[in-house]
Structure 1
Amino acid sequence: MATTDELGTTTFTTPSDREIVMTRVFAAPRRLVFDAYTNPRHVPNWLLGPDGWTMPVCEIDLRPGGAWRYVWRREDGSEMEMTGQYREVAPPERLVNTESWGEGWPETVNTVTFTETGGRTTMTTIVLFPTPEARDAALRTGMKDGASRSFDLLSDYLPTIA
């Protein structure tokens, strides 16, 4: 069972030279966390990263073979896009999808699991990169800060949809 200390903290590990594992415990049942993670009505409310960004485009076709696309916009009008395709969808337990940030960045395969104990959900995301160099480049981008910020926003957002 998760301890209170685990709530509100995103942990990052690198169990191999091609992986980043992010783990976060939320004080909510997994069906709610899964819905907030996969429903285009909810995702733009929390998957934002640094201040000053919005998500005007959130398209999700939640099925094996279905595509997803997010577009973020900064206050100055600049945009950033991410796309992918679902390989596995097993609500509310597991998702496997590809993720591409566009030209210059390699595609990753992300496996997200949601486990519930005592009304708390542990979300574990394994990001598999094609090479060690790609993983290390991602770690240098500020990815950890952006992911932590988004998961903080998700934690704050979950009570509003409970």
Structure 2
Amino acid sequence: MSTEQTTAADGFSYTLARTLDAPAAQVWRAWTTPEQYARWAYCAPGSVEMDVRPGGAWKATVVTPDGGEFPMTGTYAEVAENRRLTIAMDVPGKPEPEKMTVELAPEADDRTRLVVHQTCGTAEERDMAEQGSTMLLDSLTAFLKA
């Protein structure tokens, strides 16, 4: 996995890249099917709802390693099936949602290059978001191998 952190005029960014042993359509389904997403994204059973289309809403309750629950909501800003998904996440106390982009690029031998990019307001928010995304990608990798 490769990681890049940057500080731009408009915020603090990170980019994570990973090559997965699964075709892009399978990786897409893992990100956009509630039952599959719940299995690898640390979600409480039955908490994931997805309307995967531009402007469509989503929600999920993430369960932390210590058993705490963190409800999340948002919308889909961009949906290009099997290629690109931009997820807008509502953040309490912020006027605008945080956006995370997931890009998929098919590679040889039914592998997929996945790139996650997010810009946050502070270095601390970026570091926390990057840590969470790294955990998600680790779990997604294991889920796709199962």
Match of 2:26 among 26, 32, 35: 32
Structure 1 segments of 4+ aligned residues over 3 angstroms from their partners: 73-78, 103-106
Which residue is 1:43 aligned to?
37
- SS of the residue corresponding to residue 58 of structure 2 reads strand
After TM superposition, give the deviation of residue 110 of structure 1 in Å: 1.9
Q: Is there any run of 5+ residues in structure 2 with no aligned partner, and where?
A: none
Gaps of 5+ in 1: 1-8, 49-53
Moved more, 33-42 or 16-25: 16-25
Distance change >3 Å, CA 105–CA 45, structure 1 → 2: farther
Instruction: Compute the TM-score of the two structures, normalised by the length of structure 1.
Output: 0.75
Match of residue 139 from structure 1:
126
Identity %: 26
Q: What residue identity is the alignment partner of 2:17?
A: T
User: What is the alpha-carbon distance in structure 2 between the residues aligned to residue 74 and residue 110 of structure 1?
Assistant: 20
Does the 8 Å contact 1:112/1:123 carry over to 2? yes
Aligned positions, number: 141
Q: Distance between the aligned counterparts of 2:137 and 2:64, measured in 1? A: 19
Question: Equivalent residue for 2:102?
Answer: 112
Tell whether the 8 Å contact from 2:56 to 2:75 is kept in structure 1 after alignment: yes
Q: Deviations over 1:122-148 (max 9, x none)?
A: 11122133xxxx23121343x333322
1:13 is matched with which residue: 1, 4, 12?
Answer: 4
The separation in 1 between residues aligned to 2:67 and 2:116, in whole angstroms, is 30
* Deviation for aligned residue 1:66: 0.2
Q: Choose the corresponding residue for 1:155, options 137, 141, 146.
A: 141
Letter in 2 for 1:65: G
Greater fraction of residues in strand: 2
What is the CA-CA distance between 1:87 and the residue it aligns to? 1.7
CA RMSD of aligned residues (A): 2.3
Please state if 1:80 is matched with 2:70: yes
